[in-house]
């Protein structure tokens, strides 16, 4: 579990694999500890937003697998990158607005 933190927003907890993907998307080195500086926040936000938009575009309009209505055993649709990135994007935006870095693992 990796927790992204900022002095000005809520902690965002993610499983390691998801958090590592977010780090890659932000252009950060995948590590147990790190920081997105105030100067790096605009680029990190832009990169995550672009990845989220691409993910939505790839998965929008795709037909669901054939399932009978009311099937209690039907699997819920998977959580996409866009849904996972949104809380982190919001934390980054709040941090940018208040000129505070975002850290993890500290």
**For residue 57, what are its two tokens?**
């575009």
Q: Is residue 65 part of a domain?
A: no
Q: How many CB atoms lie within 10 A of CB 56?
A: 13
The neighbouring-strand residues paired with 13 are 3
Q: Is residue 49 part of a domain?
A: yes
Instruction: Return phi, psi of residue 3, to 5°.
Output: -115, 125
Q: Is residue 28 part of a domain?
A: yes
- Which residues constitute the domain of residue 27? 2-59+81-104
pTM of the model: 0.81
| Distance from C-alpha of 21 to C-alpha of 16, rounded to nearest angstrom | 9
Report percent pLDDT > 90 for the chain. 70
Q: Which residue has the higher pLDDT, 58 or 77?
A: 58
User: What pLDDT was estimated at residue 66?
Assistant: 44
Question: How many domains is the chain partitioned into structurally?
Answer: 1
Q: Which helix (H) or strand (E) holds 104?
A: strand 102-104
Q: Supply the mean pLDDT for the chain.
A: 87
Q: Which residue has the higher pLDDT, 56 or 14?
A: 14
């Amino acid at each position: 579990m990796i927790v992204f933190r900022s002095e000005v927003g809520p902690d965002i907890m993610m499983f390691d694999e998801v958090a590592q993907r977010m780090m890659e998307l932000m252009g950060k080195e995948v590590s147990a500890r790190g920081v997105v500086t105030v100067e790096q926040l605009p680029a990190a936000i832009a990169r995550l937003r672009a990845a989220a938009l691409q993910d939505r575009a790839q998965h929008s309009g795709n037909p669901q697998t054939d399932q009978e209505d009311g099937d209690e055993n039907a699997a819920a649709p998977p959580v996409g990158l866009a849904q996972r990135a949104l809380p982190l994007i919001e934390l980054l935006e709040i941090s940018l607005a208040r000129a505070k870095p975002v850290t993890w693992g500290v």
